[in-house]
Amino acid sequence: MPSFSRALLLATCAGGLLASCAAPAERGSAATAHAAAPSPFTPCPDAADAPALAGTECARIEVPLDHAAPQDGTQDGAQDGSVELFVRKFPADGAPQGELWLVAGGPGESGASFYPFLDTLRAAAPGYDLLIPDHRGTGYSARLCPAEESADSPGGTALVGAEWGSCFGALNADAARTRAFTITNAAHDLSQLMERLGSGGETWLYGVSYGTQLVLRTMAIDPPAGVDGVILDSLVPPEDTERYDLSRRSGVVDAVGRTVLAEEQQDDLAALVEEAGPDGPLGPRPKYLLGALLDLPETRAMLPRIVAGLKAGDTRPLGAATARLEALGARFAPYPQAPSSIPLVSLISRAENNARPGLTAEQIAAEEEGYLFASPLPGQLLQGGFPAYRRGEHFARPPASLPPTLVLHGTLDPKTPYAGAREHISRFTEAGDTRLLTVEGAPHFILMTAPDCFRAGVGAVLRGDSPPTTCSVETSVD
């Protein structure tokens, strides 16, 4: 059976929530970078490293470290005043009819989280250039810990071993730089990327999970010119929520998990979890593994069989389910920029999406006692380790105006709850024409987990047709 820790990690990093493409440009001042012409797209040096990357083009631009205070030279004599952003283009076959910008989730995920799903994207958006940036702090864009998160470091773009200590030391040593990796600065980044590298033709902007938060922040404070439409996949709850914030993620996960099991099987699972030991089939954190199984329709559908099997001493159904999580993770393996940036997850999540800043490990443990399914995410909200930043004036501010907007959301989403999405939609419906495609039975990240519904909804709006209002996930279990 695949290892618990690897299966859980891969499931946690996939969608919401998973060699350099171009030589870094010589760094200049932020003001010079802002005034310069857009960096041209050139063939990506890693285009031959994986079939999906064939024919791709890459570009890098520099933007201010802090868009509210762009500077030349250094800060306090130590820090360059700019950061570098990376974007990869997947050109359309033939002359493009437009471009679709894709913003990843996380907050720590890079654009590589879309690479395994290019066939679905091509089917939904034929004739469109796909432009996929790595937002600041992720992938091949500027990292919070450049030395430790380099593709050439011992763990590649992921942190391993002693890199955790040196990374956290660097984050504390240059707290001003650390605090500049905000959603608001990332929103200004996205606007500059689109305006400096966009074609000027038909333009659509898509975000998933945290990417929906980033897209909405961008449209609220620095909307790029010429955006014809917005697509929001697995919409985050309102930023000022106290019911669905990240500190309460385990409650959201548990509520979804319990919908899958009859009451008798819930009792059986509770007994199995109570009796589980660290070396047992469910691993040292059984509730986290069970929560991870909710991330895919097929592994979620296997839960009744898993519970019955474990009750009878048969671990094969559990092994089959964790193998499927491993198979999902393997789809991201060809891309060195794919590992999620845990420091960025912690920084932004603590600053922006935690309604209980005084949360303690004891509280988390006490709340998890009543759950069958849980998430490790609340533990990443605990104070300490490195500086956070304060929420700015743009927190929870909806866009004043939006182009036509499509929201895709699953009814069994264990990461961004369906009820929270509907509440959030109500905050910005007056900004423009917003439509919701409800995907019955789907979990998080519709592009990944309900590709047929994704194609139906996104394909319709790009053609100028009315999208369906409902769709459903068909799940079969081998």
What the block records as the tokens of 247 is 């500190």
Would the CA dihedral through 29, 34, 38, 42 be positive or negative?
Answer: positive
List, as own/partner pairs, every contact residues 45-48 make where C-beta atoms lie below 8 angstroms and the sequence separation is at least 24, other chains included.
45/19, 45/20, 45/21, 46/19, 46/20, 46/21
pLDDT the model gives residue 476: 54
* 116 vs 121: CA distance, rounded Å: 10
Bridge partners, 230 (sequence order):
205, 405
pLDDT, one tens digit for every residue, the chain (478 residues): 333 333 344 444 444 533 223 333 332 333 333 344 544 799 999 999 999 999 999 999 999 999 998 864 444 433 469 999 999 999 999 999 999 999 999 999 999 999 999 999 999 999 999 999 999 999 999 999 999 999 899 999 999 999 999 999 999 999 999 999 999 999 999 999 999 999 999 999 999 999 999 999 999 999 999 999 999 999 999 999 999 999 999 999 999 999 999 999 999 999 999 998 888 999 999 999 999 999 999 999 999 999 999 999 999 999 999 999 999 999 999 999 999 999 999 999 999 999 999 999 999 999 999 999 999 999 989 877 899 999 999 999 999 999 999 999 999 999 999 999 999 999 999 999 999 999 999 999 999 999 999 999 999 999 999 999 999 997 655 5
Q: Are 232 and 363 contacting, i.e. CB atoms less than 8 angstroms apart? A: no
**C-alpha R_g of the chain:** 22
Domains (range + CATH), the chain: 42-70+78-241+391-472 (3.40.50.1820), 246-338+351-381 (no CATH)
Q: State the pTM of this model.
A: 0.91
Spatial CA neighbour of 151 closest among 49, 3, 30: 49
Q: Which residues of 93-115 are buried (b: 16+ CB within 10 A; e: fewer)?
A: eeebebbbbbbbbbbbbbbbbbb
What the block records as the tokens of 274 is 């109570």
Bridge partners, 88 (sequence order):
58, 132
Q: What are the backbone dihedrals phi and psi of residue 378, each rounded to the nearest 5 degrees, phi first?
A: -55, -30
pLDDT the model gives residue 279: 85
Distances (CA, A) of 250 to 107, 131, 415: 18, 34, 9
pLDDT the model gives residue 383: 75
Distances (CA, A) of 441 to 50, 211, 450, 452, 453: 33, 22, 9, 13, 11
